Structure 1
Amino acid sequence: MKPENSDSSGSRRLLGRLKQALAEPAEGQERLDRITALIAEEMATPVCSIYLFRDADTLELCATEGLNTEAVHKTRMRMGEGLVGRVAASTQPINTGNAPSEAGFRYMPETGEEIYSAFLGVPIQRLGERLGVLVVQSKEPTPYGEDEVYALEVVAMVLAEMAELGAFVGEGAAMAAPHQHSVMVRGLSAQEGAAEGNVLLHEPRVVVTNPFADDSEAELHRLRKAVDKLRISVDEMLTGTDATEKDQREVLEAYRMFANSKGWLRRMEGDIQRGLSAEAAVEKEQTAARARMEQVPDPYLRERLHDLDDLSNRLLRLLTGQGDDTGVEMPDNPILVARNIGPGELLAYGRGLRGIILEEGSVGSHAAIVARALAIPLVINAERITTEALNGDHVLLDGDQGIIHLRPEDTVATAFRDKMAMATKAQERYASIRRVPATTVYGPTIRLDMNAGLMADLPSLRSSGADGVGLFRTELQFLVRSKVPRRGELASLYSRVLDAAGDKRVVFRTLDIGSDKVLPYMKPQDEPNPALGWRAIRVGLDKPGVMRMQLQALIRAANGRPLSIMFPFVAQFDEFRTVRQRFFDELEHEDKLGHVLPEEVEVGAMLETPSLAFAPKQFFDMADFISVGGNDLKQFFFAADRENERVRRRYDTLNVSFLTFLEWIVMRCKESRTPLSFCGEDAGRPVEALCFSAMGFRTLSMRPASIGPVKHLLRRSNLSEVREVIDEARASGAQSVRPAVMDWLRQQG
């Protein structure tokens, strides 16, 4: 091994030779072989090897100088197995003078490495994307020096960049062409529907086309100039922020701290002096920050590292000319791909989007609420989608199954289009029954309402054939603003909603925030289980000012018309009694101020907690109506988090226990003659809707697109016969009535 060298000439020389080797024409395997030989020669070390991922969990020896060449493409190990696997799993270097004594060491006899004691392995990675491991070995029982570790990290980073550009593909290639092969990604359905289109990255990947510095001084000048621009832009954001918006200012102050960090700039300058271009230097530090982010358990520190990650993206866009003014051209049939996105940003894209795919997110997140309001298919928790996708990539989104096909094969695309064509034909068939009621065979008529949350939803009230709006979500107007909306703004919006609905009933659900719906201007609560924490009516009870303002806005919006409101997440009678009284107090207050009161009022509650089903009879007598919030009620009934794929699919909505519980709720409402509805995703699934109706529900509220298929099935079904099928299945000891109901439906044709 070479002695440590404090200057950067060694790294520059190594990068210079590497650049020359990569510029020469060669196939993928030949290039890798040249690189291992070059590194071994330049670092004066007998062994240099490159291990690349064959799949997500398996590393393969793809090139070596010094080990047995017959082991190439034969030696493999799992993630975390051996020292190479440990480097890949931890994304941290391992540097030791006595490799066999290290924890997890695995001896691979086919490589002939038993004579080498010293081991240095560094990850080949790019912005959290693990590509492989670069290793050097030596007989001398001493660790490699700091300069050698740094030089190998720089080379690994360049290899990752060149892999991004396809430098190692071709005949005899050692790795697959990036972003060219078909990929299927499984996520979680947050909004049903299917879409075909082209990827629109919310934060486009910046591909560093030249990681080498031809002129280090010029690169240093470019970096410093871009950092100055970045600092000015952060200062301008701070200046334009309202002094009262404390949380937002805290985030921007953290931005400014990182942007002015001398250590951050000094490390990037050092990278350039060792031979990297300005972009490559920024990305090297960003990759290191991403690796640290994965290792940090503390959520606050992770958030701060995320700030640094965001600043690096901004700096890269400045260096490459992809600044905020240039933007990205919207492809045809855009399907938005992002790690996560706020409601305001999503609304800015508007209804032009065909679909949305998020790497993170939750079914109750801001983005999911907006997607449902816009009726745009949404898949969340799509692992590595932002790494796999490039702008303009052909993509198929199956929001029903939570599956994404990126750059699909022709056979997959054809089958997907056939499925979409069948769905379109079905919708055309449903259009013919849009104006007729959902009257069942020999039985009652079921009222079918729609859920909404934006003014843009209201045209669906006519086109879908909905009888009214069974749930108007009022939190979106709070989520998309940087501060609490004014009472007048809300009153104007609610008034326009009532205008658009005409003579059809609209039920306004009061503010449902908390859990995963945190207002930008509200300090997040550090709760171990937010879904069971400080949310919805609990926030309203503890923050009466916001509730009062919203109730006043609703009363003024009615302006003499009927007004229906319901309170979410009521867990006990006393909560409902308290908020109901607050509403009547506001009616009295508005009357004294001379405002026109609603012609009539209905005050209801959402039954989303099992406890409310067992409330005293006075609750059912007092409530003007009750709406079962199926999404939350089901997860609490089964103790199965609907965000958790492992458990949520274990429990069927048509489970006998759950249907029996719903039957209990129906009975209690009948005793008090309290109107009852079922609201949620399951209400919009035809088979589930049929069973709910058979159990006694006479109102269902769902997304507009579901009304046609639900009405189509109800109008062809005899609820008495369905109830007999359900009762027989329950009596037989079946766990779910679904198989029996499906058999009956097949018999009906």
Structure 2
Amino acid sequence: MPQATETESRKLLGRLREALADGGAGQERLDRITKLIADSMCTEVCSIYLFRDNDTLELCATEGLRPESVHQTRMRLGEGLVGRVAATSRAINSANAPQEPGFRFMPETGEEVYSSFLGVPVQRLGQRMGVLVVQSKEARSFSDDEVYALEVVAMVLAEMAELGAIMGEADSMTPLHQRAQIFRGGVGQEGTAEGHVFLHDPRVVITNPIGDDPEAELKRLRAAIKTLRGNLDSLLADAGKIEGDHVQVLETYRMFANSKGWLRRMEEDIARGLSAEAAVEKEQSDAQARMRTVPDAYLRDRLHDLDDLSNRLLRILTGQGRDTGAERPADAVLVARNIGPGELLEYGRTLKAVVLEEGSVGSHAAVIARAWAIPLIVNATGITTEALNGDAVLVDGDQGVVHLRPDDTVTSAFRDKLAMQAKAQERYASIRDLPATSECGQRIVLYMNAGLMADLPSLKGSGAEGVGLFRTELQFLIRSKVPRRGELASLYGRVMDAAGGRRVAFRTLDIGSDKVLAYMKPTEEPNPALGWRAIRVGLDKKGVMRMQLQALIRGAAGRPLTIMFPFVAQFDEFRQARAMLLSEMERERKLGHVLPERVDVGAMLETPSLAFAPRQFFEMADFISIGGNDLKQFFFAADRENERVRRRYDTLNVSFLSFLEQIVDRCAETGTPLSFCGEDAGRPIEAICFAAMGLRALSMRPASIGPVKHLIRQTNLTDLRAVIEAAKRDGSQSVRPAVMEFLGAKG
């Protein structure tokens, strides 16, 4: 039987482009495509299966199988040979398909008379779209050239599908990038927003996957490779200005850019009919497929380097991607795979929301989003592949849901929700200057969390009585080297100026875990959240800790100073850190510098162990702040960045509230001021329960002050405490149902 030679494969691509260029509905195009592929491959059957959802494939067009089975035959991912191709992203080439493991006989298609089977995935850079299949009655294996030809055609189909060239809008299948999509992820910061997509690193869209002139395409590829190599050489020429790890990355890139094998494979792809861009992307897709199967972490990193280098080459060839001059919309919702703190800060507070395909609830981006009080969704898998600049988008940070290109019904309901929230904010503004005093006369102090100078204007507008947590690590995270002492002292002074005499609790450097400094050698730890972080780093790296303490003392310039140490797990850690501060105070006095009028030294209680510290700790600490985010994850042994477990455990769990009650009692014994700081402090239901359990100070994001104050002022905390105690006696796992019933009865 004739085989698809290189010349024939290029001829097939040309015929494919002509078929796609012809008019007609989407189904008509699909039918023409299957016929011309079957003719060109000299097979009786060609079929296209496309995903209807993440787990279901549907026969959407066929030449050779029964026409009535189109749009009727469906299978699950991994089911049958077609499902196996989709699940593994690998071709299956069999001379006797019915004898293959997992073969599924589908009588409605009439395929039982066909022995040979060749199926290849239709995908683009990891995004699975479907499976392309050819079959024939003759029992034979398809040649390497035939397999290659079908893979190239499948790749071109994927490109065309993204551009909407296969399926018409009138069809039941709306073109990709025109469909309404819903993405679910983790809540990095609550809130809601409506806007338009602005991609941090826009995808490269290939509009010409088929090359007319192989020689011209080869020249374009070689010119782009030359430019790429020149760019890398220029960067390496400035190696003295670059950190060591970055130099290694660039050296790896240069090694790949000079790889003869990489260039040869792309040149062969062009010779077979692809454009330069499509040839680069085909090799990139192959590398990504290999990446998913390589167990060795080092090799996966090297394949990731090749993936990134391919993106650079595609941007040179197409002029797309970063720095393309795309205008940022006024209501921009930033969409990115991931983003560092410095890059996010460059966008400023004008962003409506941030959606990340990766990231975590404890990431740098999450810290900044909370400081800016803008919604943040993390782990929204697949959104960077699907979203395009300018797409309409609705972000529900309360539920962790992103509506991309929503229909009118969803948009209308979402806008109703936004209107209700706006009315609520008007109510909160009316009580801004009133104290958070409950119906039973108990006064609760509400502080705000901050980490940037830009946060301080929110102090007055939110009605907060001070800053319960100022995160000092942001100034370290956004720099490429350690900040100078003078810079920090000036910043801390400006923070205190902006606070206008209100209390500001400066938390010393809290790095480690997911917060790694660019200029700090990373350490591989099996569980970073339980590893070398926060106060542990400070006590081991005393030079950095002393420098920061000196900056805080000088920044106070004679005013009262409040410092707290993070992640203290035992009394001796606090004692050492406090002694270091007192030593720096004495040093500053000898140098003739002005000392703070008063220094309050506290600790963040984020580990259960500290709740059981000796009485002397509670006597020595001037105040204690419960770090609820970490304390809860360690109490329940549930990683707060793991969506599968973090939502299993309720903050209003009886055991957790009883534990908080023990901490309240221990602090009451020694008269140690106690506050609660964290996400839960800003949730009104949780906040009133904390207040009812005896916590008299709460620290939260500025936007939460109003809602929390509003509910406190309407609640009798004595009555609420009785409800909580009754639920505890009843053996309830959580007091939430009883509390909600109590509030509902009050209207």
User: Quick check: 457-466 or 307-316, which moved more?
Assistant: 307-316
What letter corresponds to residue 214 of structure 1 in structure 2? D
8 Å CA contact 1:43–1:148 kept in 2: the answer is: yes
Indicate the residue corresponding to 1:82 in structure 2: 80
Give the C-alpha shift of residue 173 in structure 1: 4.0
Amino acid at match of 2:453: M
Q: Which of 314, 318, 321 is the equivalent residue of 2:319? A: 321
Change (3 A) 1:35 1:539: same
Among residues 11, 14, 21, which one is paired with 2:12 in the alignment?
A: 14
Which residue matches 2:385? 387
Letter in 1 for 2:730: S
Q: Secondary structure at the match of 2:267?
A: helix
- Which deviates further from its counterpart, 408-417 or 527-536? 527-536
Cα displacement (A) at 1:122: 0.9
- 2:4–2:40 CA contact under 8 A, matched in 1: no
Residues 459-608 of structure 1: matches in 2 within 5 Å? Answer: 459-608=457-606
Over residues 252-308 of structure 1, what are the superposed CA-to-partner deviations in whole Å (9 max), with x where a residue is unaligned? 222222233222222222211111111211222222222223333444333333332
* Residue-by-residue CA offset, 1:29-80 (whole Å, 9 max, x unaligned): 2211221221122122222211111211111112222223332222211111
In structure 2, the partner of 1:97 is 95
- Alignment partners' CA distance in 2, 1:517 and 1:421: 36
Between 160-169 and 626-635, report the one with greater CA deviation: 160-169
1:42 aligns with 2:52: no
1:459 Cα shift? 0.3
Look up the match of 1:246. Answer: 244
Within the candidate set 221, 225, 228, 2:226 is matched to: 228
Residue in structure 2 matched with residue 652 of structure 1 by the alignment? 650
CA–CA separation in structure 1 for the residues paired with 2:272 and 2:55: 33
The Cα of 1:362 is off from its aligned counterpart by 0.3
Structure 1 equivalent of residue 419 of structure 2: 421
- Does structure 1 conserve the Cα–Cα contact (< 8 Å) formed by 2:29 and 2:167? no
CA distance in 1, matches of 2:220, 2:36: 30
Deviation at 1:443, TM superposition (A): 2.3
Deviations 1:114-153 (A, max 9, x none): 3333222111001111110111223343321111111111
CA contact (8 A) 1:95 1:120 kept: yes
- Whole-angstrom distance in 1 between the partners of 2:427 and 2:81: 62
Question: 2:369 aligns to what SS in structure 1?
Answer: helix
DSSP-derived class of the 1:329 partner:
coil
Report the equivalent of 1:2: 2
Shift of 1:317: 2.0
Kindly provide the amino acid, as one letter, of the partner of residue 419 in structure 1: K
Amino acid of the structure 1 residue aligned with 2:422: T
Q: Do the aligned residues in 2 keep the contact of 1:28 with 1:174 (CA within 8 Å)?
A: no
Alignment partner of 1:295 is 2:293: yes
Task: Give how far 1:202 is off.
Answer: 1.1
**Which whole-Å deviations, capped at 9, do the CAs of 1:147-188 have from their partners, x for residues lacking one?**
111111110001011111112223884743212222121111
How far residue 324 of structure 1 moved from its aligned partner, in angstroms, is 4.8
Q: TM-score, normalised by structure 2?
A: 0.97
Q: Distance in 1 between matches of 2:294 and 2:321?
A: 30
3-state SS of the aligned residue for 2:584? helix
Q: How does 1:52-451 map to 2 (within 5 A)?
A: 52-170=50-168, 173=171, 175-242=173-240, 245-322=243-320, 324-451=322-449
Report the residue type matching 1:327 in the other structure: G
Compare 188-197 and 439-448 and name the one that shifted more: 439-448
Distance 2:11 2:503 in 1: 76
Q: Which residue identity does 1:692 align to in structure 2?
A: F
Give the conservation status (yes or no) of the 8 Å contact 1:248–1:521.
no
Q: Distance in 2 between matches of 1:621 and 1:300?
A: 50
Deviation at 1:92, TM superposition (A): 1.4
Counterpart of 1:730 in structure 2 is 728
Is 2:568–2:607's contact at 8 Å kept on the other side of the alignment? yes
More displaced 10-residue stretch of structure 1: 473-482 or 638-647: 638-647
**CA–CA distance in 2 between the matches of 1:335 and 1:243?**
34
Q: What is the count of residue pairs matched by the alignment? A: 747
Q: Distance in 2 between matches of 1:746 and 1:113?
A: 62
Matched, 1:744 2:742: yes
Question: What are the Cα deviations for residues 416-462 of structure 1, in whole angstroms up to 9, with x where unaligned?
Answer: 11111111111111112111221222322111100001110000011
Q: Cα–Cα, structure 1 residues 595 and 237, in superposed 2: closer, same or farther, change >3 Å?
A: farther
Query: How far off is 1:243 after superposition?
Result: 5.4
| Contact 1:682–1:689 (CA under 8 A) maintained in structure 2 | yes
Change (3 A) 1:174 1:413: closer
Instruction: Determine if contact 1:448/1:701 at 8 Å carries over to the other structure.
Output: yes
TM-superposition CA deviations, 1:88-108 (whole Å, max 9, x none) = 111111222232333322222
Partner secondary structure for residue 566 of structure 2: strand
Partner of 2:671: 673
Offset at residue 666 of structure 1 (A)? 0.3
Q: How do 1:614-625 residues align onto structure 2 when only pairs under 5 Å count?
A: 614-625=612-623
1: CA distance between counterparts of 2:674 and 2:556?
A: 23
For residues 214 and 131 of structure 1, the distance between their equivalents in structure 2, rounded to whole angstroms, comes to 26
Task: Please give the alpha-carbon distance, in whole angstroms, between the structure 1 residues aligned to 2:103 and 2:405.
Answer: 39
**Cα pair 2:206 2:278 within 8 Å, conserved:** yes
SS where residue 351 of structure 1 aligns? Answer: coil
Q: 1:172 to 1:415 in 2, by over 3 A?
A: closer
CA contact (8 A) 2:4 2:41 kept: no
Q: Deviations over 1:507-536 (max 9, x none)?
A: 111111111112222233222222122221
**For the structure 1 residues 323 and 115, does the alpha-carbon distance in structure 2 shift closer, same or farther, using more than 3 Å as the test?**
closer
AA aligned opposite 1:608:
E
- Determine if contact 2:85/2:119 at 8 Å carries over to the other structure: yes
8 A Cα contact 1:561 1:599, kept in partner: yes
Q: What is the rounded CA distance, in whole Å, between the counterparts of 2:714 and 2:697 in structure 1?
A: 17
1:712 aligns with 2:717: no
Asked whether the equivalents of residues 202 and 321 of structure 2 are also in contact (C-alpha less than 8 Å), the reply is no
Long gaps (5+) in structure 2: none
Give distance in 1, aligned partners of 2:342 and 2:333: 17
Partners in 2 of 1:428 and 1:687 — Cα distance?
20
Instruction: Give the Cα–Cα distance (whole angstroms) in 2 for the partners of residues 606 and 239 of structure 1.
Output: 46
SS of corresponding position for 2:221: helix
In structure 2, the CA distance between the partners of 1:228 and 1:574, relative to structure 1 (3 Å rule), is same
Gaps of 5+ in 1: none
Q: Distance between the aligned counterparts of 2:546 and 2:440, measured in 1?
A: 46
Which shifted more, 292-301 or 363-372? 292-301
Q: How many percent of aligned residue pairs carry the same amino acid?
A: 73
Tell me if structure 1 keeps the 8 A contact 2:728–2:735.
yes
> Could you tell me which amino acid in structure 1 is paired with residue 367 of structure 2?
I
C-alpha contact 1:29 1:172 (8 A) present in aligned 2: no
Q: Using the alignment, how far apart are the partners of 2:636 and 2:83 within structure 1? A: 39
Q: How far apart are the structure 1 equivalents of 2:481 and 2:460?
A: 33
Matches within 5 A, 1:602-641: 602-641=600-639
CA contact (8 A) 1:243 1:249 kept: no
Rounded to whole Å, the distance in 1 between the matches of 2:674 and 2:82 is 61
Letter of the aligned partner of 2:81 in structure 1? L
CA distance change for structure 1 residues 718 and 380 in 2, over 3 Å: closer, same or farther? same
